[in-house]
């Protein structure tokens, strides 16, 4: 899994009143570093108050600010094209946000974002709605640099392994831009790895809005099942209630119409069944009564997985007959347990 990073930063204290008054900015948190003149802006964190270096702002630039930011993006993109640079990782929506914030607050603004698994490693210095300096990957293995209104390609600096293979540090380009912005040379300034920074070094100055935890299909099912398990009911009664809670999802997964249903619907039902599968898989270690359920949901999950490929690529399986078999087995299992 890749390491993701996304934030906006300032080397001058942003006007808190101006920040709160930005049209379209409904969710943000502003942090101050404990010992350095650095301020970091990111979005609300649904899991706590600590800085994450990753949460996106809840921000949709409006009016003249939006138009200025879009013009700044176009100006930057045109410079890249004029230089014949094949850049990688420029996300216009991210850049519009950074440019808009710089225009609204009227101070130099650092924007960085990256995803190491996708090879995205970008840093921008913005001021008054324009890009002043930037670094981002250039295909196939170069570094695109933008400054003084023009773009060019350079060979990126990298350390060498003993085998002689050049390697880049995690978020290296974004880190280099951050170091230029803050006029320092601290390695790993840009990071989303909690082992690379101490949350207590960043004090929360102001915030607005909240972000709810994302809810996926099956989350309600998991919650309902674990509510049953955490109750004071007897083990046999818990098992009975869990089976009753699982029953609608099993029945829906074995509906004949699901065989030819759109992929999205099959995925939805698979998530519901997965919630049941995870639950019984965890419980079977403490309660052997769940073992037959775990075995059954393993079969049901496999059946749903076979449904997902497009019909032209499906195996030669009689899905209708297999569905009837699984439904009969489920009814027998309910009666036995």
N-term to C-term CA, the chain: 40
**Which among 42, 77, 73, 25 has a CA at the least distance from the CA of 205?**
42
Render pLDDT for 250-276 as a digit per residue (tens, 0 to 9): 999 999 999 988 888 889 999 999 999
User: How distant, in Å, are the alpha carbons of 53, 69, 88, 144 from that of 93?
Assistant: 18, 10, 15, 19
- Contact 75/67 with Cβ under 8 angstroms? no
> Does residue 179 carry a pLDDT above 90?
yes
Q: Which of 15-24, 89-98, 291-300 has the highest mean pLDDT?
A: 15-24
- Residues 6 or more apart in contact with residue 14 via CB below 8 angstroms: 30, 39, 41, 105, 107
Integer Cα distance of 144 and 130 in angstroms: 17
Model pLDDT for residues 129-173, shown as the tens digit of each residue: 999 999 999 988 889 999 999 999 998 876 554 555 556 777 889
Q: Which of 327, 336, 261, 262 is nearest to 300 (CA)?
A: 327
- What pLDDT sits at residue 190? 80
Residues pairing with 134 in the sheet: 124, 146
Residue 42, helix vs strand vs coil: strand
Q: How many residues are there in the chain? A: 337
Q: How confident is the model at residue 230 (pLDDT cuts 50, 70, 90)?
A: confident
**DSSP assignment letter at 232:** S
For the residues 240-247, what does the mean pLDDT come to?
Answer: 93
Quick one: DSSP state of residue 14? -
pLDDT digits (tens, 9 = 90+) for 277-332: 999 988 877 788 889 999 999 999 999 998 887 666 667 789 999 999 999 999 99
Which tokens belong to 15?
């006007």
> How confident is the prediction for the chain on average, in pLDDT?
89
Q: Ramachandran region of residue 119, left (φ > 0), alpha (ψ -120 to 50) or beta?
A: left
What is the pLDDT at residue 205? Answer: 96
Which residues are within 8 A (CB) of 108 and not within 5 positions of it... i.e. 6 or more apart?
10, 11, 12, 102, 125, 126, 127, 132, 181
Quote the CA–CA distance of 1 and 115 in Å, as a whole number: 10
Determine how β-strand 4-10 pairs with β-strand 150-154: unpaired
Query: Lowest-confidence range among 56-65, 95-104, 306-315?
Result: 306-315
Residue percentage of the chain with pLDDT more than 90: 62
């Amino acid at each position: 899994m890749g390491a993701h990073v996304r934030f906006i930063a300032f080397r001058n204290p942003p006007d808190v009143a101006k920040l709160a008054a930005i049209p379209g900015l409904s969710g943000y948190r502003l942090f101050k570093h404990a010992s350095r003149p650095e301020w970091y802006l990111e979005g609300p964190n649904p899991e706590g108050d600590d800085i994450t270096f990753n949460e996106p702002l809840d921000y949709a630039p409006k009016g003249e600010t939006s138009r200025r930011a879009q013009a700044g993006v176009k100006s930057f993109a045109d410079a890249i094209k004029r230089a014949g640079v094949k850049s990688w990782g420029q996300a216009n929506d991210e850049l519009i946000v950074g440019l808009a914030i710089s225009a609204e607050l009227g101070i130099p603004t650092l924007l960085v974002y990256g995803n190491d698994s996708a090879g995205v490693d970008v840093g921008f210095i913005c001021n008054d709605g324009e890009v002043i300096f930037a670094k981002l990957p250039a295909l196939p293995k170069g570094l695109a640099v933008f400054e003084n209104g023009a773009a060019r390609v350079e060979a990126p600096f990298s350390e060498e392994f003993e085998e002689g293979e050049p390697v880049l540090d995690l978020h290296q380009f974004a880190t280099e831009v951050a170091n230029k912005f803050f006029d320092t040379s601290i390695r790993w300034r840009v990071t989303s790895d909690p082992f690379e920074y101490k949350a207590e070094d960043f004090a929360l100055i102001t915030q607005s809005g909240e972000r709810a935890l994302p809810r996926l299909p099956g989350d309600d099912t998991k919650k309902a099942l674990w509510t049953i398990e955490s109750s004071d009911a007897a083990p046999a009664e818990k098992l009975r209630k869990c089976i009753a809670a699982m029953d609608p999802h099993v029945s829906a997964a074995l509906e004949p119409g699901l065989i030819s249903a759109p992929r999205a619907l099959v995925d939805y039902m698979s998530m519901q069944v997965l919630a049941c599968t995870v639950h019984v898989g965890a419980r079977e270690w403490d309660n052997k009564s769940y073992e037959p359920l775990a075995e059954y949901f393993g079969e049901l999950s496999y059946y749903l997985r076979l449904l997902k490929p497009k019909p032209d690529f499906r195996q030669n399986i009689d899905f209708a007959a297999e569905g009837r078999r699984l439904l009969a087995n489920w009814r027998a299992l309910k009666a036995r347990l």
